[in-house]
Every structure is written in C-alpha cells, then in structure tokens.
Amino acid sequence: MDIRRQIEYWLDGSQDDIEAAAVLLEKPKIRQSLFFAHLAVEKALKAHVSKATETVPPRTHDLLRLAELAGISLEPPRRMFLARLQRYCLEGRYPDFPIETPELDEARAELDEARETRAWLVKQLMP
C-alpha cells in the first residue's frame, strides 16, 4: 500500500468537505454544514492515522479515537471542540440522537473552528 497516496486521498477529501460545509452554511443548511465540517476534520485525522500506522484507518467516525490512534496530543480546548463536533456526525447519521440545531452565528463559529483545526492537522503532516 502506498501510504503517501492514502494520505493524499484523505486530505483531498477533507478539503472538498470543508468547502462543501461552507457552501451548505450559506443556504443555510446548518446541520448538513456541520456534518460536513465533522467529515472534513475526520478525514484529516484519518490522514494522520494512515501516516502513523502505515495502514488504512479504521472505519470509525470518532474524532477523539482517531486522534488517539494517530498519536496526536490535544490541548483541552481542541479536545473539547472535537467532542462538540462529534455531535453533528451522530445527529446527521442517526435520527434517534437529536441535538438542537445551533443558530447561524454559532454555526459559523463552529465552521471557523473546524477550518482552523483542519488547517492545524494538515500543517502537521507537511514536512
């Protein structure tokens, strides 16, 4: 398996998903936007897992678990953000996991933090 190609695959998907999140938020499709924001961060983390383990990452959507598998040390604010972002994945996938849809301003702040977190993850992968 070509690990470099795996990493590129995950990073390309992550970029596409963060762009989709921004487009969806302008509609405004808040829940869908934050679902894609989660997906973008998830894929950036999966790039890290691919690099750290030299294998295909597991089929999980758990951001904190992926960070752990990748050996990424998270400061408390970033850990709290990933836990918060996780809700949007669950709510988007499972109808029995309802959460309150955030207001547009809060959703914009969440998307901004997802962009920043994604950028931080991507930067760590670059030599």
Q: Is the pLDDT of residue 114 over 70?
A: yes
Q: Apex CA 88: angle with CA 83 and CA 101, to 5°?
A: 115
Peptide bond into 28 cis (omega under 30): yes
User: What is the rounded distance in angstroms from the CA atom of residue 29 to the CA atom of residue 34?
Assistant: 9
For residue 126, what pLDDT band results from cuts at 50, 70 and 90?
Answer: confident
R_g of the chain computed on alpha carbons: 14
CATH superfamily of 3-125: Nucleotidyltransferases  domain 2 (1.20.120.330)
94: left (phi over 0), alpha (psi -120 to 50) or beta: beta
CB 112 within 8 A of CB 25: no
Q: What is the pLDDT of residues 19-72, one digit of tens each?
A: 999 999 999 999 999 999 999 999 999 999 999 999 999 999 999 999 999 999
pLDDT 10s digits, 8-20: 999 999 999 999 9
106 confidence band (pLDDT: 50, 70, 90)? very high
pTM recorded for the entire structure: 0.95
In sequence order, what are the residues at sequence separation of 6 or more whose Cβ sits closer than 8 angstroms to the Cβ of residue 101? 30, 31
